[in-house]
A and B are shown apart, each in its own frame.
Chain A
Amino acid sequence: MTVTDLVPYDDALAAYDPVMGLEVHVELGTKTKMFCGCSTELGADANSQTCPTCLGLPGSLPVVNAVGVESAVKIGLALHCEIAEWCRFARKNYFYPDMPKNFQTSQYDEPIAFDGYLDVQLEDGEVFRVEIERAHMEEDTGKSTHVGGATGRIHGASHSLLDYNRAGIPLIEIVTKPIEGAGERAPEVAKAYVAELRELIKALGVSEARMEMGQMRCDVNLSLRPKGRQEFGTRSETKNVNSLRSVERAARFEIQRHAAVLSSGGTIVQETRHFHEEDGSTTAGRIKDNAEDYRYFPEPDLVPVAPPREWVEELRSTLPELPRVRRNRLREEWGVSEHDMQSILNAGAIGPIVATIEAGADAAAARKWWMGELARNANETGRPLEGLPITPAQVARVAELVKGGDLNDKLARQVIEGVLAGEGDPDTVVEKRGLKVVSDEGALTTAVEEAIAGNPAIADKIRGGKVAAAGALVGAVMKATRGQADAARVKELILAQLGVEG
């Protein structure tokens, strides 16, 4: 592999102004494919979810999936787009084995949604508006496995194997207008845009939008122009950038690479590039000469889609609160900083915290458990928070037990550990493990007396006014009760015994 020349990021930005275009493909979560009734369930046996329509066999006819169209309209509305009064599908003709029909059914000059925007919030709270060009309906391709080459790459493979289960799964392609004026924050804007779009898609309930599963994929178009110049430079198109972090890295890398080429007097070739997760670099793929001639024409086997206005308005009225607006509302309700809210978002904890509060916990407790003990466990076991075997209601119950003085934090952690280990709900774990705070004043008093008797020097210090020293005695009592005492109550008893005001 050739080494790509890069210039330092700051130098690149001192001389050039980046312009980006982002194309995001979202696989919808419909039960069936876009144009036939084959299941979209993941993980099925190869070629077990195909039919004459998605295999492109002669005589088969497509019929569009109503939920696919509805999802496209919802996405369009949430992106503040206009919804076409009338639009058609088109055939995009090309020969490639991933598409058995030799064309992809897509939309060309009549997208179902167009001219919108999405406001994205950067980590420091700054809001950046990304204009949306269009969102259109199309279908996914089959999955290729390349055999005989090095590490499954297409280059040098002797042949390829095709599984068409994915061919025909509904896709919505969302294309931004050129993103200008982001300057040095361009990579950050790209990442924030894809992150916000993902939240939006999830909130609409039209897809789980899991990037690691390929349910959401991003192409990053980027060009540089000398500062002060109006017209755009030549762009490169980095394909299939499939994580938020990669979107940011790919944009950053391309800025540095373009700047190196341009500042040494070279010209950027208009081409597609491949992104490499290992080192964040991109390498050249296919050169885009104008040989790409898809010969789009209106799909004769499908009738036009003309969403009635009443239906569009009905869908508009069912849209959920936009994720950014909701986050800001929750942030204020919970009384946390922008930065903390960002951490909560990144941890995927917003949903669980909201559900825990709804189940009766107060915001601080819900946040504390999900961002503390549970986030740690999720991290260690490589699971998403929502995949942990504990429900928000159970977390709320733990919080309730702590609030009522039945558990202290240490015991609560053990209860959570028990629930996660499948020992039952919180009350069962408390019962089975015998994790009640010792509230028997007689037993506590005895333990306190023993602690004082066993540590006369410390007791003297406390009597002498060093209240802080009480911590050591509290520790001794906690140890003696195997952590099952209420530390605050123990301290009160110690100070009372020693005749000191707390």
Chain B
Amino acid sequence: MPGITREEVAHLARLARLELKAEELEHFAGQLDDILGAVARVSEVAGQDVPPTSHPLPMTNVMRADEVRPSLTPEQALSGAPAQEQQRFKVPQILGED
């Protein structure tokens, strides 16, 4: 059985920018463990002859012609932005002083 630790859940939460309380870490570690266990069982059943699936449809080479289609207007594009300035998305400070 895989077994996911509390520390691993905390790491994943940080990567996903999720703030989790101590009891939530515990809670999700248990749930994720169940999910990983289920996936591991599927892996046991699938032999060498079963290729891994990343897409439910057996299709390849779905492409579009290189033709311009209308874009949103800047107003539409920015309509969901929490903040904007000079017709651009305004985001908080990325890095502090050196």
Q: Are B91 and A160 in contact, with the CB atoms below 8 A?
A: yes
Distance in angstroms from B65 CB to nearest chain A CB is: 6
Report A-chain residues with C-beta under 8 Å of the C-beta of B27: none
Distance in angstroms from A357 CB to nearest chain B CB is: 33
Judged by DSSP, the binding face of B is loop
Q: Is B97 an interface residue (CB 8 A)?
A: yes
Q: Are A164 and B89 in contact, with the CB atoms below 8 A?
A: yes
Taking A50-B72, A63-B62 as contacts, is the C-beta distance between A298 and B89 under 8 angstroms?
A: no
Taking A50-B77, A161-B86 as contacts, is the C-beta distance between A31 and B57 under 8 angstroms?
A: no
Q: How far is the CA of A252 from the CA of B11 in the complex (A)?
A: 39
Q: Which of A10-18, A41-49, A381-389, A486-494 contacts B (4 or more CB under 8 A)?
A: A41-49
Q: Are B54 and A159 in contact, with the CB atoms below 8 A?
A: no
Q: How far is the CA of A37 from the CA of B69 in the complex (A)?
A: 5
Distance in angstroms from B78 CB to nearest chain A CB is: 6
Q: Is B64 an interface residue (CB 8 A)?
A: yes
Q: Are B15 and A293 in contact, with the CB atoms below 8 A?
A: yes
Report A-chain residues with C-beta under 8 Å of the C-beta of B71: 38-39, 48-51
- In chain A, residues 190-211, which have Cβ atoms closer than 8 Å to a Cβ of chain B? none
Report A-chain residues with C-beta under 8 Å of the C-beta of B91: 97, 159-162
Report A-chain residues with C-beta under 8 Å of the C-beta of B96: 155-156
Distance in angstroms from B56 CB to nearest chain A CB is: 9
Q: Are B90 and A161 in contact, with the CB atoms below 8 A?
A: yes
Taking A49-B71, A55-B77, A303-B62 as contacts, is the C-beta distance between A154 and B94 under 8 angstroms?
A: yes
Q: Is B74 an interface residue (CB 8 A)?
A: yes
Q: Is A246 an interface residue (CB 8 A)?
A: no
Q: Are B72 and A162 in contact, with the CB atoms below 8 A?
A: no
Q: Are B66 and A306 in contact, with the CB atoms below 8 A?
A: no
Q: Is B60 an interface residue (CB 8 A)?
A: yes
- In chain A, residues 145-186, which have Cβ atoms closer than 8 Å to a Cβ of chain B? 145-147, 154-164
* Interface mask (A97-123 → B, CB under 8 Å = 1, otherwise 0): 100100000000000000000000000
Q: Is B95 an interface residue (CB 8 A)?
A: yes
Report B-chain residues with C-beta under 8 Å of the C-beta of A295: 15
Chain B minimum-CB-distance residue to A44 = B71
Q: Are B64 and A66 in contact, with the CB atoms below 8 A?
A: yes
Distance in angstroms from A165 CB to nearest chain B CB is: 9
Q: Is A336 an interface residue (CB 8 A)?
A: no
Taking A37-B69, A63-B63, A65-B66 as contacts, is the C-beta distance between A159 and B86 under 8 angstroms?
A: no
Q: Are A145 and B88 in contact, with the CB atoms below 8 A?
A: yes
Q: Is A8 an interface residue (CB 8 A)?
A: no
Q: Are B77 and A305 in contact, with the CB atoms below 8 A?
A: no
Report B-chain residues with C-beta under 8 Å of the C-beta of A100: 89
Q: How far is the CA of A306 from the CA of B60 in the complex (A)?
A: 6
- In-complex Cβ contact of B60 among A47, A86, A161, A163 (8 A): A86
Q: Is B68 an interface residue (CB 8 A)?
A: yes
Q: Is A95 an interface residue (CB 8 A)?
A: yes
* Interface mask (A422-440 → B, CB under 8 Å = 1, otherwise 0): 0000000000000000000
Report B-chain residues with C-beta under 8 Å of the C-beta of A306: 60-61
Taking A97-B89, A160-B94 as contacts, is the C-beta distance between A298 and B54 under 8 angstroms?
A: yes
Q: Is B59 an interface residue (CB 8 A)?
A: yes
Residue contacts A-B, CB under 8 angstroms, 23 given: A31-B68, A32-B67, A37-B68, A37-B69, A39-B71, A46-B88, A47-B78, A48-B77, A51-B71, A52-B72, A55-B72, A64-B64, A65-B63, A66-B64, A66-B65, A95-B17, A97-B89, A159-B91, A162-B90, A164-B77, A303-B55, A303-B61, A305-B60
With A39-B71, A65-B63 already in contact, 13 other A-B pairs whose C-beta atoms are closer than 8 Å:
A30-B66, A32-B66, A38-B69, A46-B87, A86-B60, A147-B85, A159-B90, A160-B91, A160-B94, A298-B54, A303-B61, A304-B60, A308-B61
